[in-house]
């Protein structure tokens, strides 16, 4: 391997958003070594990165962010100047059944990474950066009006969002106490290729494909603000290089949808692409028991990142959803591979037998 003067450590790079981020950094920054540290949990899949795995500036390391030895070794062996921290347990429903896994990875893992960065960087903090990738869910649940700004007080409502909020607090505390140079972004719901089919959009596409019931929680009235994953990865690159130290940026799609309307739209797009008669998949929609403590609405005010960094989403929802559905239809092998025994077991526990 050639020697690099600078390395960026990306955690969770084998996951959904992480793989898009790693691909972008590897392709756009050939002068920097991009290290992907990932434990390869059920959500991590190296098939997501097949197209860049042979690149000279890419290094994959299988390991746990909460393992001090693993993390310190990376900082000892490579000239890491920045960390882009995406590794997390990320699914709200799983956090309801197993909150401890979320505390371990999302809280302890984040602090372990920052400790290793501090140890390696010492007082030599110029040009260093710890970038915490967070979620809009830390702000809690909105009523019908208003949007989350960077000043909205944290009010997490699920074990997942509580663990992410806790990690964000630790990052700011490390900035304040030890001068760790950091930046945080809080993004709304992402969608696109390579998302694990436990999340609403890929789960719906997969069930349509197999003509299985589409589980919609409660009455489907909950609202999410959807952003195409490539637009998020582009924002991450912008914030990593140009974001102001110690600053928080909200990232969102300005694209609010009620779950039931989104699922209907997905049914129609998928039917069209599969050449099925109009309306045939809508019949699969099934209202099921609501998620415990289900947040009603998320919506992001992204004016700061637009104003300060000139970012804006480039992909319209119609374009992004069509591209996403087509990708899942073209990559049924990927789908079959990720729907491992473990996912099948999870599915049965969550929704009952098929
Ligand atoms: P994901 O579940 O698809 O991927 C998570 C990745 O982290 C996987 O590759 C997994 O193997 C890895 N990982 C988990 N625990 C680990 C550990 N202990 N050590 C090392 N690696 C570990 O998640 P995602 O949807 O891509 O989300 C990535 C990040 O973005 C998370 O921090 C999440 O909170 C945040 N986020 C996600 C969304 C969204 O809509 N998906 C929105 C806003 C913010
Ligand atoms: P999800 O994709 O799990 O993301 P998050 O909970 O982090 O926003 O869920 C998106 C929305 O879809 C949320 O309101 C819950 C709902 N949902 C369903 O109605 N059915 C499902 O099977 C899933 C997974 C989610």
348 found inside a domain: no
In which band, very low, low, confident or very high, does the pLDDT at 350 lie, cut at 50, 70 and 90?
confident
Query: What's the CATH code of the domain at 90?
Result: 3.40.50.720
290 found inside a domain: no
243: left (phi over 0), alpha (psi -120 to 50) or beta: beta
In which band, very low, low, confident or very high, does the pLDDT at 347 lie, cut at 50, 70 and 90?
confident
Q: Could you tell me which of 61, 324, 343, 22 has the C-alpha nearest to residue 201? A: 324
Residue 353 has pLDDT above 70, yes or no: no
The answer to whether 90 and 160 are in contact (CB under 8 A) is: yes
Residue with CA closest to ligand 1 atom 37: 135
Burial zone of 265 (CB within 10 Å; 0-12 exposed, 13-18 middle, 19+ buried): middle
CA 271-274-278 angle, to 5 degrees, is: 30
Residue 341 has pLDDT above 80, yes or no: no
181 found inside a domain: yes
Residue 25 has pLDDT above 60, yes or no: yes
Angle between helices 200-209 and 317-330 (to 10 degrees): 50
- Marked catalytic residue, from 38, 64, 89, 136: 136
236 found inside a domain: yes
Percentage of residues in the chain having pLDDT higher than 90: 94
Percentage of residues in the chain having pLDDT higher than 70: 99
Look up the pTM and report it: 0.98
The answer to whether 313 and 258 are in contact (CB under 8 A) is: no
Closest ligand by atom to 351 CA: 2
110 found inside a domain: yes
| 89-119 per-position pLDDT tens digit | 999 999 999 999 999 999 999 999 999 999 9
Q: Could you tell me which of 8, 6, 156 has the C-alpha nearest to residue 85? A: 8
Task: Tell me 346's DSSP state.
Answer: H
In which band, very low, low, confident or very high, does the pLDDT at 2 lie, cut at 50, 70 and 90?
confident
Structural Rg of the chain based on CA atoms: 20
Average pLDDT, the chain: 97
Closest ligand by atom to 197 CA: 2
Q: CA–CA separation, 41 vs 111, rounded Å?
A: 19
Tell me how many domains the chain contains: 1
CA distances from 211 to 104, 219, 298, 354 (A): 37, 21, 30, 11
| Catalytic residue list contains 137 | yes
Does residue 227's CB lie within 6 angstroms of at least one atom of ligand 1? no
| 274-319 per-position pLDDT tens digit | 999 999 999 999 999 999 999 999 999 999 999 999 999 999 999 9
Q: According to DSSP H, which parts of 151-245 are helical? A: 159-178, 200-209, 229-242
The string of DSSP letters for 49-65 reads GGGGTT-TTEEEEE--T
**How many helices (H) and strands (E) would you count in the chain?**
13, 12
Range of the domain at 51: 7-191+227-256+296-315
Q: What is the mean pLDDT of residues 230-242?
A: 98
In which band, very low, low, confident or very high, does the pLDDT at 354 lie, cut at 50, 70 and 90?
low
Residue with CA closest to ligand 2 atom 3: 199
206 found inside a domain: no
2 found inside a domain: no
Does residue 187's CB lie within 6 angstroms of at least one atom of ligand 2? no
62 found inside a domain: yes
| 166-212 per-position pLDDT tens digit | 999 999 999 999 999 999 999 999 999 999 999 999 999 999 999 99
- Going 229 to 132 to 311 to 241, the CA torsion angle's sign is negative
Q: What is the mean pLDDT of residues 150-176?
A: 98
């Amino acid at each position: 391997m050639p020697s690099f003067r600078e390395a960026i450590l990306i955690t969770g790079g084998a996951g959904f958003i992480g793989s898009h981020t790693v691909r972008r950094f590897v392709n756009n920054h050939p002068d920097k070594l991009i290290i992907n540290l990932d434990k390869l949990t059920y959500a991590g899949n190296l098939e997501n990165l097949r197209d860049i795995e042979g690149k000279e500036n890419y290094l994959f390391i299988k390991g746990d962010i909460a393992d001090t030895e693993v993390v310190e070794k990376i900082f000892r062996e490579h000239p890491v100047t920045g960390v882009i921290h995406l590794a997390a347990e990320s699914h709200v429903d799983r956090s309801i059944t197993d909150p401890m896994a979320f505390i371990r990875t999302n809280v302890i893992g984040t602090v372990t990474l920052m400790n290793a960065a501090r140890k390696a960087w010492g007082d030599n903090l110029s040009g260093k950066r710890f970038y915490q990738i967070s979620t809009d869910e830390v702000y809690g649940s909105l009523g019908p009006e208003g949007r989350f700004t960077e000043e909205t007080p944290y009010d997490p409502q699920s074990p997942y969002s509580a663990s992410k909020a806790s990690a964000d607090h630790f990052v700011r505390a490390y900035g304040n106490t030890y001068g760790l140079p950091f930046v945080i972004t809080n993004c709304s719901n992402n969608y696109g290729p390579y998302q694990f089919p436990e999340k609403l959009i890929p789960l719906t596409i997969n069930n349509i494909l197999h003509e299985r019931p589409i589980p919609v929680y409660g009455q489907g009235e909950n609202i999410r603000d959807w952003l195409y994953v490539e637009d998020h990865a582009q924002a991450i690159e912008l914030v990593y290089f140009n974001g102001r130290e110690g600053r928080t940026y909200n990232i969102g799609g300005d694209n609010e949808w009620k779950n039931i309307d989104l699922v209907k739209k997905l049914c129609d797009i998928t039917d069209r692409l599969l050449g099925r008669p109009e309306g045939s998949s809508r019949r699969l929609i099934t209202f099921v028991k609501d998620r415990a403590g289900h947040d009603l609405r998320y919506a992001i005010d992204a004016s700061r990142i637009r104003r300060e960094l000139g970012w804006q989403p480039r992909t319209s929802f119609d374009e992004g959803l069509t591209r996403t559905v087509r990708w899942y239809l073209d990559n049924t092998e990927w789908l079959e591979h990720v729907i491992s025994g473990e996912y099948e077991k999870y599915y049965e526990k969550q929704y009952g037998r098929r």
